[in-house]
Structure 1
């Protein structure tokens, strides 16, 4: 009787003993002696990821605690002592702005880590995970750590006041644009907006939202067409984003050709407004939530224009809103 020869793959680790087990995760085969070693290797890698995960959680906790004793808080305290009776509420609002900024910065990381904690706990309890899961978890931790290494830039500046020895303080926060609609692209980590393709409306909104205090922002007009069509202003966060900002309800701001936008309606020469924006101009937008006004200043011409915002028409919180129409037009959000 002829013998039957059976072809069996050799163990992926020792390469000598015929395999008895197949791993669906890495698609390799193992002998009896090494299948358990392979599983121990995977468990060891999971332990490393759990350690990295715990370190990230600790960094978030430390970051949150340190934000409460940030040097900016000491500056606010010193300013408050100099004029406590007149500006105590302003100091409280300023603290809220600083803490809110740090809180918004860490919110995405906190949510991501909460979800990752649940996944890792299930993996440890059920011993149900493979190489693909481990790579995904490690990639998530790497992304979170990179985000935590780039905290928001915040500073304090002093403005004028009715009393000479009392200086108003304004919290300057580095915002970015993170939402868009229409023919527009957000680039350079949220600092640059560019009209893309052929002519067509496109609108962006800021990540930050504003309900109290004063906030200053500066924009550089890196490129504008001969028609110089753009919109700079604010909108209520509650209003859905659309490509045509000038006719969006709750929109307030300034456009080319001497038009002002008030609650999504255009008015020519409102309060004597004359548009003078040109290429390379630096434009400052001041959002004063306490006075319910916004102010636009061209640093080249020194022309300043102010709008009163009816919060019944444009409720808080507000967001910055920019819009472009002509191809290749570009506006950059500057810091300081």
Structure 2
């Protein structure tokens, strides 16, 4: 009984010593494992993910760069065609009036040629202007490169439906009679980017009525009235037109326009909306969301005139 009573502490000690030996063994094995592993062994799975991310980013950047190169080529070609058309207009008028021109004709022709020179010389500046290009970093999974399309947007009045007349190389639209409303379209088509068109109300009989907005280029000009592709603001009675339907006072619009005002029409194709700013009233800004189902891209500038002598200039 005596011996059995004292054997238990001894056996327990042996068991604890065995556990300690195992702990030391595990420690030594783990230390050998840590010392044998290289940085590359440890980082290999994460490095593989980083390498894949790098390749994906490179591919996206290359695709965006190719898209950008194509866009630059397209804009330059559009600009060339636009200027060529305007030169042809000058050339045709010179040929017609060559024997009967007056000094004012010569002055107008010179002014138009000088404008075209400036536009041609502006192309390299616009191409290198960092404000003309916006890049979303390639790390984004949705990254791409977008141009604001600022290179070619010399807007001019181009087509008329009704008794209005286009003058001064498309810079002015003037109503000639009260027979009907006149609708005047711009020459440019807007599909992407953000575009700002500056307009001046030079004449406005009794500050009565004008219309500024856009319309889908798919809408024939003789079908402008009540077309679902027409959006914009009319002076008088707080008229706002959405999908060709009048909504008085939409967005707080109060028809505060008068003769001499300079109006900025912002066409935001990317956000699918248009904005109206009156520079005389800095705190008032209006915007309209555009439903591309009823007003498909591309869009055109759309100006409406009614009273005799009413005149709008693109500046």
Normalising by the smaller structure, the TM-score range is 0.5 to 0.7
Provide the secondary structure at the position in 2 that maps to 1:102: helix
Structure 2 match to 1:252: 231
Using structure 2 for the length normalisation, give the TM-score.
0.58
| 2:161/2:183 contact within 8 Å kept | yes
| Cα deviation 1:263-284 (Å, max 9, x = unaligned) | 2111111122221111100000
Instruction: Provide the rounded CA distance (Å) in 2 between the counterparts of 1:216 and 1:185.
Output: 23
Instruction: Provide the rounded CA distance (Å) in 2 between the counterparts of 1:169 and 1:90.
Output: 11
Match of 2:218 among 226, 229, 238: 238
1:268-287 mapped onto 2 (5 Å cutoff): 268-287=248-267
Give the C-alpha shift of residue 90 in structure 1: 7.3
Provide the secondary structure at the position in 1 that maps to 2:78: helix
Give the C-alpha shift of residue 106 in structure 1: 3.4
Give the C-alpha shift of residue 225 in structure 1: 1.9
Gap runs ≥5 in structure 1: 1-83, 111-135
| Cα deviation 1:170-221 (Å, max 9, x = unaligned) | 6062211121011211111110011102363111101111111111110010
Given the superposition, is the C-alpha separation of residues 270 and 182 from structure 1 closer, same or farther in structure 2, using an over 3 Å criterion? Answer: same
Using structure 1 for the length normalisation, give the TM-score.
0.55
Instruction: Provide the rounded CA distance (Å) in 2 between the counterparts of 1:175 and 1:159.
Output: 18
Match of 1:326 among 307, 312, 315: 307
* RMSD of aligned alpha carbons: 3.7
Give the C-alpha shift of residue 99 in structure 1: 3.2
Instruction: Provide the rounded CA distance (Å) in 2 between the counterparts of 1:224 and 1:199.
Output: 17
Given the superposition, is the C-alpha separation of residues 90 and 281 from structure 1 closer, same or farther in structure 2, using an over 3 Å criterion? Answer: farther
Structure 1 match to 2:49: none
Given the superposition, is the C-alpha separation of residues 292 and 240 from structure 1 closer, same or farther in structure 2, using an over 3 Å criterion? Answer: same
Given the superposition, is the C-alpha separation of residues 109 and 333 from structure 1 closer, same or farther in structure 2, using an over 3 Å criterion? Answer: closer
Provide the secondary structure at the position in 1 that maps to 2:221: coil
Match of 1:191 among 171, 175, 182: 171
Provide the secondary structure at the position in 2 that maps to 1:97: helix
Gap runs ≥5 in structure 2: 1-60, 99-108, 137-145
Instruction: Provide the rounded CA distance (Å) in 2 between the counterparts of 1:90 and 1:231.
Output: 36
| Cα deviation 1:119-151 (Å, max 9, x = unaligned) | xxxxxxxxxxxxxxxxx9xx59x9xxx999646
| 1:105/1:151 contact within 8 Å kept | no
| 2:207/2:258 contact within 8 Å kept | no
Higher relative contact order (CA 8 A, sep 6+): 2
1:103 aligns with 2:81: yes
Instruction: Provide the rounded CA distance (Å) in 1 between the counterparts of 2:133 and 2:253.
Output: 25
| Aligned residues between the structures | 218
Instruction: Provide the rounded CA distance (Å) in 1 between the counterparts of 2:295 and 2:226.
Output: 14
Instruction: Provide the rounded CA distance (Å) in 2 between the counterparts of 1:162 and 1:333.
Output: 31
Structure 1 match to 2:289: 308
| Cα deviation 1:138-172 (Å, max 9, x = unaligned) | x59x9xxx999646836748499999xxx985606
| 1:200/1:327 contact within 8 Å kept | no
Where is the helix percentage greater, Structure 1 or Structure 2? 2
